[in-house]
Chain A
């Protein structure tokens, strides 16, 4: 059977593969992919050996929505390109075999090669980036970093990688390695990050996949599928299960085969009986026929006298052995998506790839898109390349045009893509995947065996939703934490937190966890500790929806803005309810902090135009420009109104007018007949201290400590006075919140991590001054023009802060 030729020019027959490839890809994309992505779940740790499992895409529509979501376009495009490329090759070949075309058409081949090669290259870049760039959520307090810098790192990495491969090419040239071998080795090296990613993901998740698919195949619910599977699900699970069973054996076969090849490539020579078979062609190495296993099976099947039985049998076995990696990569890309979403690699194995925090995956569609993008770019790209190579080179490259058959391409493309080079590349890519898998699989054996000890609770979400509806009855109707904090009732809030941590028995465990997370999120947000509030908000979103979901989404937006991570804030702002004043304020703040990049939509302008909080925010920015500490607007006795007043008093303190500020505070308290306001009293004490009335300030502080020992600002004040030797330190707090005052940590280092928008209590170190300038520019204010000077210096304004504090 000779390979079809490559023909130039255009015929009507050349159009058919395009139409067929496009139609198949479209069907695949609109029907198969959404079906396969239905039932994606995330699992995250909620206790020791205890995981909660939640469904992300419960319907086909959910899967379609996810595929259409923002950030998915690159992954979708790459996948479709590679799919169309592989299908074009396939249909060109089918047309020839059916006698409808005389050969491969050069335009179709060109398109197919570009469509396959580009995704393969992107696959390398994506895989390299995912493995080299530090995993999200582990290197900084903020959970995500969607910065331009992170994307640039990916591009830079792939450029460096390509340069290294070019270097390898020239080194091989110097060593007089043949052109075909240089080609195969260099392409293999180029693709190695994708191959390694394949091995790491499948190797570390094998145990979890195996256990799950075995149970489903038996008709039982698995840890990740909380319902009795139907017949179709059982059949799919059986296929996955069988593949998983043979994977380690196939990989072991590859390893042993490579060892034999390294030892002596002539060790395995076929018997005369095989050589005499009409369908058999001698291969360059036995790796091209599935290693030792393929070699042995060909020998075995050669005993079958009937060609009609022997030939397809041999072809099937070889196809499986050679294309195992490609088929698993291509067909099981959805299983990989499931694995990556579940994020169970840490418990089912060792050496996996972590793409996103599992709680973020549950909470943020942008993270879901990111993981799917990796599946489609990093994973499917290389699998599609291998699949296409497999098609071309299978059965002694029966479908590969060579020599004069290449027509115009004889000395061009065919000169590089030679038979030996492509065959060698095919088995190298396949073997690389197997070896990477085997290495990680062996490392993961011990960990994976303990998987049975872990509880995967798939019902907790439903139970929690049911209990949430009754929580007002269970806990009696309690004031929300946000109300308590807004009204400065910190002591009550912290007492409530203690009660939540005491728990209400095992039955309410799921609900208690969500209540704890909710409470912590709101307390941290109230304290301005945004990194911690963000972590809790992500956890809460992962745990449940409802009212808390909107609050958590507001917290996430506020956290991103406070961390000055505007790229991260963008998708989060998009998820907020649009006709809400709290959303409108955050949208305005996002535009304010990043005015060149972000336009404030008219609907938000309309909402905030009559808002008293926004009037005061705008007034604050105008005063910032002009360096005016005190507002001319009336101070309101509302929770935000009190904060604005105390903040103006802080500016007056910075400007050196504490007595004027004290008058302002006392007038406010008197005019609104305020009898209880701990935060206000803390500031009153501070103003006395500023004015030199230390004893009055200390007495006030000690009274506050006696009546409100748990109030965080009282504790701050007492801590500062105790460090200055004016009073005794308070006993340590027992809440799960870590207080810098009480902890034995170096709080000078801890400050920038915890208090992202608050100036540090001292400017003892340069990073603290820089932090102060970035968190609140008013720190440069001293009432004598220093703020204007700092504003002029822009990012170097912190240098003015440094000198202005020495006033």
Chain B
């Protein structure tokens, strides 16, 4: 629908990391530059 062929209104529901504030879910996004090696090394994905 858009000239550059991006799915329409993707921004209305594409989220990254979701946390809650007083029970309300909020989106913190997900930086593309995430340092996946360090994240794994620090055990952040093994909780």
Whether the pair B7, A762 counts as a contact (CB closer than 8 A) is no
Whether the pair B12, A717 counts as a contact (CB closer than 8 A) is yes
Q: Chain B 1-31 against A: per-residue CB contact (8 Å), 1 yes, 0 no? A: 1111111111111111111111111111111
Whether the pair B45, A622 counts as a contact (CB closer than 8 A) is yes
Chain B interface size range: 35 or more
Binds B, one of A200-208, A326-334, A610-618: A610-618
- Point out the residues of chain A lying under 8 angstroms from B39, CB to CB: 592, 595, 621
- Point out the residues of chain B lying under 8 angstroms from A717, CB to CB: 8-9, 12
Query: A329 vs B2: C-alpha distance in the bound complex, in angstroms?
Result: 62
- With contacts A482-B24, A592-B44, A805-B6 taken as known, whether A720 is within 8 angstroms of B29 at the C-beta atoms is no
For the complex, would chain B's binding face be called helix, strand, loop or mixed by DSSP majority?
loop
Does A525 sit at the interface, judged by CB under 8 A?
yes
Q: Which residue of B lies closest to A588 (CB)?
A: B44
Whether the pair A776, B14 counts as a contact (CB closer than 8 A) is yes
Whether the pair A724, B1 counts as a contact (CB closer than 8 A) is yes
Does A463 sit at the interface, judged by CB under 8 A?
no
Whether the pair A621, B34 counts as a contact (CB closer than 8 A) is yes
For the complex, would chain A's binding face be called helix, strand, loop or mixed by DSSP majority?
helix
Q: Which residue of A lies closest to B29 (CB)?
A: A757
Whether the pair B24, A773 counts as a contact (CB closer than 8 A) is no
Query: A647 vs B11: C-alpha distance in the bound complex, in angstroms?
Result: 10
Cβ of B33 to closest chain A Cβ, rounded Å = 5
- Point out the residues of chain A lying under 8 angstroms from B45, CB to CB: 618, 621-622
Whether the pair B18, A562 counts as a contact (CB closer than 8 A) is no
Q: Chain A 662-690 against B: per-residue CB contact (8 Å), 1 yes, 0 no? A: 00000000000000000100110010011
Does A794 sit at the interface, judged by CB under 8 A?
yes
Does A551 sit at the interface, judged by CB under 8 A?
yes
Whether the pair A794, B33 counts as a contact (CB closer than 8 A) is yes
- Point out the residues of chain B lying under 8 angstroms from A764, CB to CB: 3-4
Instruction: Enumerate A743-758 residues with CB–CB distance to B below 8 Å.
Output: 755-758
Does A229 sit at the interface, judged by CB under 8 A?
no
Query: A614 vs B19: C-alpha distance in the bound complex, in angstroms?
Result: 8
- Point out the residues of chain A lying under 8 angstroms from B29, CB to CB: 528, 562, 756-758, 774-776
Whether the pair A778, B16 counts as a contact (CB closer than 8 A) is yes
- Point out the residues of chain A lying under 8 angstroms from B14, CB to CB: 647, 650-651, 654, 758-759, 776, 778-779
Query: A790 vs B32: C-alpha distance in the bound complex, in angstroms?
Result: 8
Does A485 sit at the interface, judged by CB under 8 A?
yes
Binds B, one of A42-50, A135-143, A637-645, A730-738: A637-645
Partner of A620, one of B13, B17, B33, B38: B17
Whether the pair A653, B10 counts as a contact (CB closer than 8 A) is yes
Cβ of B3 to closest chain A Cβ, rounded Å = 7
A: number of interface residues (CB 8 Å): 92
Query: A758 vs B28: C-alpha distance in the bound complex, in angstroms?
Result: 9
Query: A464 vs B26: C-alpha distance in the bound complex, in angstroms?
Result: 29
Whether the pair A617, B34 counts as a contact (CB closer than 8 A) is no
- Point out the residues of chain A lying under 8 angstroms from B44, CB to CB: 588, 591-592, 595, 600, 618, 621
Whether the pair A761, B20 counts as a contact (CB closer than 8 A) is no
- Point out the residues of chain B lying under 8 angstroms from A779, CB to CB: 10, 14, 32
Query: A635 vs B29: C-alpha distance in the bound complex, in angstroms?
Result: 20
Q: Which residue of A lies closest to B16 (CB)?
A: A776
Q: Chain A 763-807 against B: per-residue CB contact (8 Å), 1 yes, 0 no? A: 110000000011111111000000000110011011001000111
Does A165 sit at the interface, judged by CB under 8 A?
no
Query: A352 vs B44: C-alpha distance in the bound complex, in angstroms?
Result: 47
Whether the pair B32, A593 counts as a contact (CB closer than 8 A) is no
Query: A483 vs B21: C-alpha distance in the bound complex, in angstroms?
Result: 10
Partner of A649, one of B6, B11, B13: B13
Whether the pair A640, B7 counts as a contact (CB closer than 8 A) is no
- With contacts A522-B24, A654-B10 taken as known, whether A585 is within 8 angstroms of B19 at the C-beta atoms is yes
Query: A589 vs B30: C-alpha distance in the bound complex, in angstroms?
Result: 10
- Point out the residues of chain B lying under 8 angstroms from A16, CB to CB: none
Whether the pair B47, A618 counts as a contact (CB closer than 8 A) is yes
Whether the pair B22, A482 counts as a contact (CB closer than 8 A) is yes
Query: A755 vs B12: C-alpha distance in the bound complex, in angstroms?
Result: 11
- Point out the residues of chain B lying under 8 angstroms from A616, CB to CB: 18
A-B pairs with the 9 shortest C-beta distances? A757-B29, A777-B32, A650-B14, A595-B38, A482-B24, A646-B13, A482-B22, A773-B32, A640-B25
Which residues of A are interface residues toward B (Cβ below 8 A)? 480-483, 485-486, 522, 525-526, 528, 551, 554-555, 558, 561-562, 564, 582, 585-586, 588-589, 591-593, 595-596, 599-600, 605, 608-609, 613-614, 616-618, 620-622, 624-625, 639-640, 643-644, 646-647, 649-651, 653-654, 679, 682-683, 686, 689-690, 713, 716-717, 720, 724, 755-764, 773-780, 790-791, 794-795, 797-798, 801, 805-807
**Could you jot down 17 A-B contacts, CB within 8 Å?**
A481-B24, A486-B25, A525-B24, A551-B22, A554-B22, A599-B42, A613-B19, A640-B20, A679-B13, A758-B29, A761-B10, A763-B6, A776-B30, A778-B16, A795-B33, A801-B32, A805-B5
